[in-house]
Every structure is written in C-alpha cells, then in structure tokens.
Amino acid sequence: MEPAVEPAPVGAQAAKQAKEGSKNRSRRRWRKGKIKASAFSHSMDLRTMTQSLVTLAEDNMAFFSSQGPGETARRLSNVFAGVREQALGLEPTLGQLLSVAHHFDLDTETPANGYRSLVHTARCCLAHLLHKSRYVASNRKSIFFRASHNLAELEAYLAALTQLRAMAYYAQRLLTINRPGVLFFEGDEGLTADFLQEYVTLHKGCFYGRCLGFQFTPAIRPFLQTLSIGLVSFGEHYKRNETGLSVTASSLFTGGRFAIDPELRGAEFERIIQNLDVHFWKAFWNITEIEVLSSLANMASTTVRVSRLLSLPPEAFEMPFTSDPRLTVTISPPLAHTGPGPVLARLISYDLREGQDSKVLNSLAKPEGPRLELRPRPHQAPRSRALVVHIHGGGFVAQTSKSHEPYLKNWAQELGVPIFSIDYSLAPEAPFPRALEECFFAYCWAVKHCDLLGSTGERICLAGDSAGGNLCITVSLRAAAYGVRVPDGIMAAYPVTTLQSSASPSRLLSLMDPLLPLSVLSKCVSAYSGTEAEDHVDSDQKALGVMGLVQRDTSLFLRDLRLGASSWLNSFLELSGHKPQKTTSPTAESVRPAESMRRSVSEAALAQPEGLLGTDTLKKLTIKDLSNSEPSDSPEMSQSMETLGPSTPSDVNFFLRPGNSQEEAEAKDEVRPMDGVPRVRAAFPEGFHPRRSSQGVLHMPLYSAPIVKNPFMSPLLAPDSMLKTLPPVHLVACALDPMLDDSVMFARRLRDLGQPVTLKVVEDLPHGFLSLAALCRETRQATEFCVQRIRLILTPPAAPLN
C-alpha cells in the first residue's frame, strides 16, 4: 500500500508566489509604461506638456500636503511645488528658443543646431517628470508605493530641471547678442571670459547621479552608468598617487559605494571633472589600450587578415604637384617640438592584397606580440582601387589606432578597401603643430606608397572622428597649400572645427555631458595649443599612462585583481561614508561631513543657496552694441606651422571680417563693467537662483590664446580662399553633442562658398558613438551612416553621357 501523498501547501507559499508575480508584472508594466509615456510626452507640444505637468504637480502637492506633518510627505509636497514653479518658468523661454531655432539650421532638411538640442533636452527632463508625476498620482495610495525612492528621483530631476532653466536663459542671452544665423558668441575676449566665468560656476553634479544620460537613448544609459562608476573609482586611486596596472585593475572593483549611492557618485564626478588635470584624463581614456581589454574588444570584432603597426621612417621624399606633375615638392619629416622621428600607423585590411606582404612593408612593421590568425592564409587579392586614411579621436591627448581598431575592422570588411590609421603624437607632450605635421607626413607617404598598402590609390578618403575629424580637415588644407594631391573627400564624424573658448548653444550642453564636460574640453585644448599651465605634481603621477600599464606582468595583474576585490568588499561594507576631500583653495564647503555627502542632490537645491552673486540689474546689451569688437593687432597668419607657437592671450574676433574702428571703440565703451558687475550675465529673472558648484574655483583658461585662431587649428576660422581648396566634406554629427554647432557652422560656411558639403545629424546619441558601435542598434545605424558617406567618396563619379 503506497503512502498517502500530502497535498502541496497552498497557504503562505502561494501567497508569496502571488506577491512576487505581482511585483514582477508591476515592474514590467512600469518599464513598458515609461517607454510609452515618454513617446506620448514627446508627441505633445511644449505648452500641453507643461500644462499637464503643472496640473499633476498641483494635484500631488495638495495630496501630500494633507498627509500630516511627516517629513517625507512635506518633502514630496515641496518637490512638486518646485516642479510646478520651474516648469512654468521654463516654458516661455523654451518657446522663444524654439520659435527662432529654424533660422540657425543648415537647411530645411537638416533641422539641427544647439538651440534645438537644448529645447529637446529640457523636453526630455519635463517628459520624465510628467511620467513620474503620473505614476505618483496613480500609486500614492498603494501599500507598495515606495515614497523614499520616488522622492529621491523627483528631487534629482527637479535639480536638473532647475539647471536646465538656467542654461535656457544663457541660450536666450546668446540669442540676443549674436547676429542672426550665428551660433557662436561674437563678443570680444573680455565678454567671452565674463560669460564663461558666470556659466562654469553652475552646479553639475545633479546631471551625473540619478539623471545621468537621461537625454540619450535608453540603450546608452547603462554604459554611461558603468563608465561613471569606473571614472570616480579610477579618480580615487589617481588621487592617492597609485600608478601602473594596480590603478586599472583595482578601479574595476572599488565602485561599490558609488554604484549604490547616485548622489555621492554625482558629487565625486563633478569634483573629478573640475579639479583633475589632463594627465588624469589621458590615463583614463587610455584604459582601453591595456592588452587584456583590447584583446577582449578584438575578439568581439570582425576578424581581418591584416592588422599591422608600421613605423614610417623620418626621411624626406618628393611629391608631384597636382598642377604640374613634372615638378615636385619635398615632404619633410615632422620637426616640431621633438625633432625628426618616426610616425606610427596601422594598416588594416579584410583581405590580404598585393603589396601588403612585400619585403619593403615587412621592414616597416613594428612588432606587437603574437597575433592569432583564425583562418587559413589565402591567396593574395588584387590591389583595391581605393584607400581610406583614418585619423583617430581622443581630444588630441589620448588613444591610438588600437582603441579604434574594432570598428575599423568592420569598415575594412564592409568597404572592401585597406584602411591606413595614423598614430600621431599626443599632447601635452607633443602640442600643436606636431600632430598635424605627423598626419600630413603619413598621408603623403600613403599617397606615394599606396601600392605597398594594397591599393592603386585611384580614390582616397580621409576619415576621422572628433579631434581626428579636425585633423582630417587641416591635413587637406595643408595638402592644398603644398600643392600636392588632396583626398577625394573627407568624412568627419562629430569634429571640432574651432578650438576657441567661445560659447554656443550646443556647447552649453557640456555642463551636463558625461563624455565632454566643459572643463575637460578646456584642458584638452590647452594641452594641444601648448598653453597648459604647469601642474606641480609628482612625476610618478604624470607617468601614469598606457605604456606603464601595458608593461606590467601577469603576476602583478593577478595580485591586483585579488587586492581590488578585497578593497571592493571593504568599501561595500564601510558604514562611515565618504571621506572629506582636500582642495587646493579652502572654501566654506571644502570639508563636509559624511551625512551631507549622502543627502539627495536636489535637497540642497531646494534650500536657499548661499553666497549668490549680486542681482543688480544689468545694462541691456543689444546686437548693435556687440556686433563689432576691437580689431586684432596680431600679424597676418602664416600657413607655415613652424612659425606659429604658443603665445599670450589677445583680443581677436571670432569671425574674420572688416570693421569700423571708431564704431568698435564706441561699442567697447558701452559694454564696460559697471560697479564691478560682469559685462555679460544670463539676466535671470527675479527670484530664480540656480544651484552653484560647491567644488571651489574652477581653474580653467577663459581666454583663448591667439594660436587657436590659426586656421590649421580652427578650420572654421580659415579664410574663404583656404576653404575653397577643400574636397567634398561629409559631416556626421550628434544632435546632443556639445560639438554640434561646430559642424553646423562649418557646413554653413562651406555651403555659402559653393563648396560640396553634406551634414547628417543623428538623434539621441552621445559624442564618440563610433567607439560604441557594437553597443546597440542606434549606434550601429549611426556608424552605418559614416560608412555610407565613405562609400560615396570612394565611388568614382559617373562618366558623362554623350
């Protein structure tokens, strides 16, 4: 007789399973509802969205005000009151910016500029608050309603909305001062410095905590969060002066407290971007150069048959003139700053082509360690008719072709042509014009020896991103100045076309951009221009770089993994909070207790700020007042790079145009400071006070050295005669990139000159999307736009019909 089987428990266990199932379904509905609500909100017009948000805020405010004297209820009531106030104050300004934004577009088919981007970013923040307000209104009476969690998120986004309102007022000020159609600030150097000095004092930490990357496509946000955790952890080790691989390995594991505390992470992120020097960013951006990480990236990328690092000898050679091939010009090796030296470049080819395994090329190959070839060695393919010469980005201070190798391998497969990627010397050790000289030398070498690279050279494209896009344009300008062959076209992805510290609507976004903060941009420009102030730091700290990281052996790496994991566990269990930070200049907030570091970012924003700047009324500035400035006393720019070097700041107009000296003098007199008040300010309305940074004085050069106005450094400032020598230019920019206005204004200048130019602007992606090509569908599509533009350049023009 079989034993009786007891019935399965259906009481507490069933109830628990039902509860878990309900929670999971609720989370799924929340995620789906958030996406649908965001899409619905973005389809609203600005006024309807604002009215809906204000109505919900008032309803929630009334509800929580009636819930008794509890602290959480009081703060929820206050935060909805703040949302209502900021939304009502922001809507008219955004409406004004949107009403005139079309005047700054390249054309009707390319509706993109910094004003549109700023309005879009503010709409994203409003949409998130609208969705969150609806969620609170629907669930505030539920027993599962997490009041503290929703409060923290609402406070964070309220702080972001407050700062966005300040940025909108700055954009409004630019709109008032600048000439119609001009995106960059046109005032003299003093006005620019006043504007930037006021702007950089704004608080930034709220954009790097809970709100990190809210303006980008959702698929990007987890990457940005991981990046920010790694950055602040890396910054802690850098601050302690730990060098070599121990910094990198440990920093992969010590982000526990930053991962669980968004407010702490945001405050530390702001401290890092505001205080650490260019050597820190050089070290952090070069993490991808470590053999372990680069090997992992290459394993996930396309397998190619050729990927060789070449060392081009510093030997002069002759190039024929395009106007008369019987005559030649000598191409000298790079000389600036460090004297003659080899130039490194990487050859990437999906197929092994004729010439790529020649004795001459083998003699130039630089050993990089063993490389595993996964497929049988094929027969040589014929030489390609085309060649892509690539110049990588990295702010002129970091990265090499190795960092960009994953997407270059994909390009080599999709385009079916060899890719020659140049590894130029980096600032601050090799400032301008060293990188330009090396890129020009390597470009000419590739044109002359394209048969060794597996190409006949019938079509040549110059392609680059960010700083590399700038160098692509300036290399073409220099090739035209020398009279040698210019490329058949340029593909520049999100390039920087002016290195002046001049404000524009899109550059206002650098206040909140996690990849291109304003202070970091300034430090990179100072390093490249050779005007970087000497930081008296330990030489070991400056030595932190890719070479020191790569040279560590395996045993040290494994040891650091163990120590890093132990450190992460200790920091995770640590209950004492964040240690006080030391600053170079003592301030009232230089030392904080742990409790204040862990409070909500927005809690402080809701309080009355201290030490605000005066609110005296300013003299109204008109377009006529600032349309002209004092003419430059500097001599005419020479096209020879060797004759230009770092110098002191001077007043030089942003746009090269004639002006009446008497009118300029009168205009300058009209905008002089009065009673110590800065000459340019956002003119905030009475009662509005954005949050100011608590990280002390930002040491950032606010004046541009005259060298950055050199057209070979800032091609946007080049005279018409130089720009007319450029080949067709294809620009691919990001709508939310602080460098967007660089592309828009450069495209407008070229089009006004009748030069062939295209501009494609991708939505919802950050600067540097090429390096994120494998991350999501949106980055892959944007990368495909770049490939399409290159393919267009490499396609021979159709023969005319008889």
> Where does the pLDDT of residue 663 fall: very low under 50, low under 70, confident under 90, or very high at 90 and above?
very low
> Where does the pLDDT of residue 132 fall: very low under 50, low under 70, confident under 90, or very high at 90 and above?
very high
| pLDDT digits 0-9 by tens, 439-481 | 999 999 999 999 999 999 999 999 999 999 999 999 999 999 9
DSSP, res 328? E
User: Over 50: is that where the pLDDT of 340 sits?
Assistant: yes
**325 prior amide bond cis, ω within 30:** no
Q: How confident is the model at residue 565, as a pLDDT? A: 41
User: Over 70: is that where the pLDDT of 427 sits?
Assistant: yes
Burial (0-12, 13-18, 19+ Cβ within 10 Å), 750? buried
Q: Which residues contact 126 (CB under 8 A, 6 or more apart)?
A: 41, 49, 50, 53, 87, 90, 161
Say if CB 609 and CB 405 are below 8 A apart. Answer: no
619 or 580: whose pLDDT is higher? 580
What token pair was written down for 665?
Answer: 């003098």
**CA separation, residue 743 to residues 264, 525, 534, 750 (Å):** 35, 18, 32, 11
The alpha carbon of 710 is separated from its chain's Cα centroid by a whole number of angstroms, namely 23
User: Over 80: is that where the pLDDT of 661 sits?
Assistant: no
| pLDDT digits 0-9 by tens, 382-410 | 999 999 999 999 999 999 999 999 999 99
Q: How confident is the model at residue 532, as a pLDDT? A: 67
**262 prior amide bond cis, ω within 30:** no
User: Over 50: is that where the pLDDT of 551 sits?
Assistant: no
**CA separation, residue 155 to residues 72, 158, 277, 415, 595 (Å):** 12, 5, 31, 49, 17
User: Over 80: is that where the pLDDT of 177 sits?
Assistant: yes
Q: Which of 222-236, 311-325, 522-536, 574-588 is the least confident region?
A: 574-588
Residue 347: other Cβ atoms inside 10 A: 23
User: Over 80: is that where the pLDDT of 672 sits?
Assistant: no
What distance in Å separates the CA atoms of residue 119 and residue 408, rounded to the nearest whole number? 34
Q: How confident is the model at residue 603, as a pLDDT? A: 33
- What is the arithmetic mean of pLDDT over 624-638? 34
Amino acid symbol at 131: H
User: Over 60: is that where the pLDDT of 244 sits?
Assistant: no
Give the residue from 102, 183, 192, 263 showing the smallest Cα distance to 746.
183
Q: Which of 188, 465, 737, 742 is catalytic?
A: 737
| pLDDT digits 0-9 by tens, 71-109 | 999 999 999 999 999 999 999 999 999 999 999 999 999
- What is the arithmetic mean of pLDDT over 243-258? 51
User: Over 70: is that where the pLDDT of 647 sits?
Assistant: no
Residue 17: other Cβ atoms inside 10 A: 10
The yes-or-no answer on residue 77 being catalytic is no
Q: Which residues contact 101 (CB under 8 A, 6 or more apart)?
A: 111, 113, 115, 116, 119
- What is the arithmetic mean of pLDDT over 629-642? 35
Q: Which of 307, 466, 529, 714 is catalytic?
A: 466
- What is the arithmetic mean of pLDDT over 132-150? 94
DSSP, res 801? P
- What is the arithmetic mean of pLDDT over 518-527? 89
User: Over 90: is that where the pLDDT of 333 sits?
Assistant: yes
Question: What is 661-701 written as a DSSP string?
Answer: HHHHHHHHHHTS-BTTB-S----PPTT--PPBPSS------
The yes-or-no answer on residue 730 being catalytic is no
The yes-or-no answer on residue 59 being catalytic is no
What distance in Å separates the CA atoms of residue 248 and residue 556, rounded to the nearest whole number? 12
Burial (0-12, 13-18, 19+ Cβ within 10 Å), 780? middle
Say if CB 92 and CB 18 are below 8 A apart. Answer: no
Interhelix angle 518-529/278-285, rounded to 10 degrees, is: 100
What distance in Å separates the CA atoms of residue 153 and residue 133, rounded to the nearest whole number? 11
Residue 786: other Cβ atoms inside 10 A: 23
What distance in Å separates the CA atoms of residue 348 and residue 298, rounded to the nearest whole number? 13
- What is the arithmetic mean of pLDDT over 399-425? 95
Q: How confident is the model at residue 797, as a pLDDT? A: 80
24 or 769: whose pLDDT is higher? 769
User: Over 60: is that where the pLDDT of 371 sits?
Assistant: no
Say if CB 486 and CB 447 are below 8 A apart. Answer: no
What distance in Å separates the CA atoms of residue 639 and residue 712, rounded to the nearest whole number? 8
| pLDDT digits 0-9 by tens, 693-719 | 877 655 566 556 789 999 999 999 999
**What percentage of the chain exceeds 90 in pLDDT?**
53
Q: What angle do CA 13, 146, 606 make, to 5 degrees?
A: 170
Q: Which of 1-5, 211-215, 334-338 is the least confident region?
A: 1-5
- What is the arithmetic mean of pLDDT over 409-420? 96
H or E stretch at 759: strand 757-762
Say if CB 584 and CB 605 are below 8 A apart. Answer: no
What token pair was written down for 587?
Answer: 């301030």
What distance in Å separates the CA atoms of residue 474 and residue 718, rounded to the nearest whole number? 10
| pLDDT digits 0-9 by tens, 500-517 | 888 899 999 999 999 888
> Where does the pLDDT of residue 176 fall: very low under 50, low under 70, confident under 90, or very high at 90 and above?
confident
User: Over 90: is that where the pLDDT of 762 sits?
Assistant: yes
Q: How confident is the model at residue 497, as a pLDDT? A: 97
**CA separation, residue 220 to residues 157, 207, 217 (Å):** 19, 15, 6
Q: Which of 488, 704, 767, 771 is catalytic?
A: 767
Q: How confident is the model at residue 571, as a pLDDT? A: 39
Which residue is associated with the tokens 């201070």? 397
What token pair was written down for 144?
Answer: 């599962």
What token pair was written down for 426?
Answer: 């980096």
User: Over 50: is that where the pLDDT of 605 sits?
Assistant: no
Q: Which residues contact 149 (CB under 8 A, 6 or more apart)?
A: none
> Where does the pLDDT of residue 139 fall: very low under 50, low under 70, confident under 90, or very high at 90 and above?
very high
Q: How confident is the model at residue 287, as a pLDDT? A: 76
Q: How confident is the model at residue 14, as a pLDDT? A: 52
319 or 666: whose pLDDT is higher? 319
Q: How confident is the model at residue 701, as a pLDDT? A: 61
What token pair was written down for 158?
Answer: 């309220």
Say if CB 525 and CB 496 are below 8 A apart. Answer: no
Q: How confident is the model at residue 227, as a pLDDT? A: 87
294 or 568: whose pLDDT is higher? 294
What distance in Å separates the CA atoms of residue 564 and residue 566, rounded to the nearest whole number? 5
- What is the arithmetic mean of pLDDT over 736-755? 97
What distance in Å separates the CA atoms of residue 787 and residue 769, rounded to the nearest whole number? 13
Q: Which residues contact 197 (CB under 8 A, 6 or more apart)?
A: 678, 702
Say if CB 740 and CB 114 are below 8 A apart. Answer: yes
Burial (0-12, 13-18, 19+ Cβ within 10 Å), 98? middle
What distance in Å separates the CA atoms of residue 747 and residue 470, rounded to the nearest whole number? 13
Q: Are strands 489-493 and 455-465 parallel, antiparallel or unpaired?
A: parallel
For the chain, the average pLDDT equals 77
Give the residue from 239, 309, 258, 269 showing the smallest Cα distance to 544.
239
- 3-class state of residue 94 by DSSP: helix
- What is the arithmetic mean of pLDDT over 422-430? 96
Exposure class string for 67-93: b at 16+ Cβ within 10 A, else e: eeeeeebebbbbbbbbbbbbbebbbeb
- What is the arithmetic mean of pLDDT over 411-419? 96
Say if CB 626 and CB 191 are below 8 A apart. Answer: yes
User: Over 50: is that where the pLDDT of 567 sits?
Assistant: no
**What percentage of the chain exceeds 70 in pLDDT?**
68
The full length of the chain comes to 802
The arrangement of strands across the sheet holding 489-493 comes to: 365-366, 306-312, 343-349, 419-423, 384-391, 455-465, 489-493, 729-734, 757-762
Q: Which residues contact 95 (CB under 8 A, 6 or more apart)?
A: 46, 47
What token pair was written down for 567?
Answer: 């450190």
Q: How confident is the model at residue 342, as a pLDDT? A: 96
Burial (0-12, 13-18, 19+ Cβ within 10 Å), 631? middle
Q: How confident is the model at residue 301, as a pLDDT? A: 75
Q: What is the dihedral of CA 425, 431, 433, 439, to 10 degrees?
A: 20
What distance in Å separates the CA atoms of residue 642 and residue 335, rounded to the nearest whole number? 8
What distance in Å separates the CA atoms of residue 259 and residue 251, rounded to the nearest whole number? 13
Question: What's the distance, Cα to Cα, between the start and end of the chain in Å?
Answer: 101
Give the residue from 738, 696, 691 showing the smallest Cα distance to 202.
691
> Where does the pLDDT of residue 416 fall: very low under 50, low under 70, confident under 90, or very high at 90 and above?
very high
pTM of the predicted model as reported, rounded to 2 decimal places: 0.78
Residue 171: other Cβ atoms inside 10 A: 27
Q: How confident is the model at residue 13, as a pLDDT? A: 55
